[in-house]
């Protein structure tokens, strides 16, 4: 087999379907609502409690709902493509496995490596975010404080803070890893309870806040573009700000892909996975749009934490604070709801950790099972039937990252990897529909010829910016910055070295083609 042929060697859809039918690596224990809860758990978290209000303050104003709709269109197109694949190829690995069936081994490796690193980073950072809310909740209930040196990681930007390690973040990461190793169904049931508490908390926030909405705060709906002297030093608001915010809040509208990594643990994957993908994104989008409208209606988008300061000339905006949802209700005198917000935030963010650690471990397992990473990682637990080795190592890695590293500006870094995977998924489902129309599909993406290209275009523009003519010349607006793109290139370079140094020679498909399996 020539060099190029090795790069695009594929696993047939029929073989993947057969493997899924006889696989005994995992216990089948999850129904549609547990899968949906994993999806909602991954989607609704930091977006509700931080990103939506922050981007309203700094970029979009009340038009943050347009930013969510723009990001949601691209995400929905990819979600429907995921749903078609999930019903057709119900195998652990999600986008990686789908890419292997359609695009070939190297593109599949790129997707798998990309998502593995992205998921692991999300787990580490979100575990650190959970710590902040837990500490606030513990203090609120008991009045006790951890020693300063255990409250957060050392940050060179703030060397006098006294922080050394984020103890609670490490406990969160290790605790969720332990739950997932013991039995997936136990973790899934606990996650369903946690997600239910989160959704109830978000609904209470929306309903309670709706009584304090002043519609005048929604005017102007798209604020006039201004030069920013506070947050970024550049321009914000206007359509530029709306589309720039869309590139950031995209972080909040993906995550349903994590539930497709659990395909081999679903009771009826070809029926339940497509339904869970669509349900989780639909429910999450409704919550995002509702809470964005409520928060921007309760306080002015450029309102100040210090009432003595003029709007738009703040040292700290209410919606741009570290705990913006709490700050909004405090500003309206609703102190009683603080505990509910903290509980909902803890549940919300902890469920994100659960979903992405589950996804990362299963992608790692799938890469190893296919020979692209060492086979030692592709051994399920002899008693509990879980991918315990990848989960154990992810728990340790993410605990160390969350405990000792001050990680910032994660949203853009994570988004570029996920958007890249979405482009490949939308292209893959379209290619397979053309090349293999005969394959039985339990779910067919409607109007695929429109939605798949639309998903590609939206994802691409969220990365590079939207085409825009201003003052007589072309100037893309929004998009991700060059530093983010550079970091992504470095990550991919490391992945290429691993593939060409190890995976290409140990591929199970290669061994099968050579008659070694």
**Among the residues of 103-219, which ranges form H helices?**
105-142, 167-182, 184-210
Residue 204: what pLDDT?
A: 86
Locus of tokens 């995400």: 75
Distance CA(98)–CA(82), nearest Å, equals: 9
DSSP state of 387: -
CA dihedral 434→438→439→440, nearest 10 degrees, is 120
| Inter-helix orientation angle 269-298/184-210, to 10° | 30
Q: What is the pLDDT of residue 263?
A: 64
* pLDDT value of position 231: 46
CA dist., res. 482 & res. 92, Å (int): 33
pTM of the model: 0.74
pLDDT tens across 237-292, in order? 888 888 888 877 876 777 777 777 666 677 777 778 788 888 888 888 888 899 89
The pLDDT value recorded for residue 63 is 92
Which has the closest alpha carbon to 40: 352, 290, 248, 291?
352
Which residues touch 457 (CB under 8 Å, ≥6 apart)?
none
Query: What whole-number distance in Å separates Cα of residue 503 and Cα of residue 389?
Result: 19
- Write out residues in the chain with pLDDT < 70, as ranges: 1-4, 13, 15-29, 46, 90-94, 129-130, 132-133, 156-158, 183-188, 227-235, 251, 261-264, 306-315, 322, 405-414, 466, 468-479, 511-517
What pLDDT does 398 receive?
Answer: 82
Residue 508 CA to residue 103 CA, distance in Å, equals: 17
What lies within 8 Å, CB to CB, of 248 at 6+ separation is 51, 55, 59, 67, 411, 412, 415
């Amino acid at each position: 087999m020539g060099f190029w042929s090795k790069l695009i060697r594929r696993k047939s859809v029929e073989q993947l379907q057969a493997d899924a039918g006889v696989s005994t690596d995992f216990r089948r224990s999850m129904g549609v609502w547990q899968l949906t809860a994993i999806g909602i758990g991954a989607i609704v978290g930091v977006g509700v409690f931080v990103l939506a209000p922050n981007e309203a303050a700094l970029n979009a104003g009340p038009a943050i709902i347009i930013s969510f709709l723009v990001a949601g269109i691209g995400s929905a197109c990819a979600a429907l493509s995921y749903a078609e694949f999930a019903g057709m190829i119900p195998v652990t690995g999600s986008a990686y496995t789908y890419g292997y069936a359609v695009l070939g081994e190297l593109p599949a490796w790129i997707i798998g490596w990309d998502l593995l690193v992205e998921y692991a980073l999300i787990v580490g950072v979100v575990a650190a975010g959970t710590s902040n809310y837990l500490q606030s909740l513990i203090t609120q209930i008991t009045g006790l404080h951890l020693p300063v040196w255990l409250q957060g990681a050392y940050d060179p930007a703030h060397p006098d803070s006294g922080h050394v390690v984020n103890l609670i973040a490490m406990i969160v990461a290790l605790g969720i890893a332990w739950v997932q190793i013991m039995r997936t169904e136990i973790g899934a049931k606990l996650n369903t309870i946690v997600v239910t508490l989160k959704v109830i908390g978000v609904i209470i926030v929306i309903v309670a806040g709706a009584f304090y909405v002043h519609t005048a705060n929604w005017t102007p709906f798209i604020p006039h573009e201004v030069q920013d002297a506070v947050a970024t030093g550049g321009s914000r608001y206007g359509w530029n700000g709306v589309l720039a915010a869309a590139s950031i809040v995209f972080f909040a509208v993906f995550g349903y892909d994590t539930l497709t990594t659990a395909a081999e643990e679903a009771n009826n994957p070809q029926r339940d996975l497509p339904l869970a993908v669509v349900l989780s994104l639909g429910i999450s989008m409704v919550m995002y749009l509702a809470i964005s409208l409520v928060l921007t209606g309760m306080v002015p988008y450029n309102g100040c934490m210090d009432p003595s300061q003029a709007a738009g000339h703040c040292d700290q905006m209410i919606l741009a604070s570290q705990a913006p949802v709490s700050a909004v209700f405090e500003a309206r005198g609703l102190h009683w709801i603080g505990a509910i917000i903290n509980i909902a935030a803890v549940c919300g963010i902890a469920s994100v950790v659960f979903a992405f650690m589950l996804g990362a471990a299963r992608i790692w397992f799938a890469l190893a099972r296919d020979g692209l990473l060492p086979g030692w990682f592709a051994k399920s637990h002899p008693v509990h039937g879980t991918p315990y080795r990848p989960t154990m190592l992810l728990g340790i890695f993410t605990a160390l990252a969350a405990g000792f590293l001050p990680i910032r500006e994660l949203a853009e870094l994570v988004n570029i990897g996920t958007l890249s995977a979405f482009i490949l998924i939308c292209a893959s489902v379209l290619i397979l529909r053309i090349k293999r129309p005969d394959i039985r599909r339990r779910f067919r993406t409607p109007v695929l010829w429109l939605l798949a290209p639309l998903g590609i275009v939206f994802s691409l523009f969220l990365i590079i910016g939207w085409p825009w003519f201003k003052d007589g010349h072309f100037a893309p607006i929004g998009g991700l910055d060059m530093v983010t793109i550079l970091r992504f290139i470095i990550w991919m370079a490391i992945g290429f070295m691993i593939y060409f140094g190890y995976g290409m020679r140990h591929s199970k498909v290669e061994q099968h083609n050579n008659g070694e399996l």
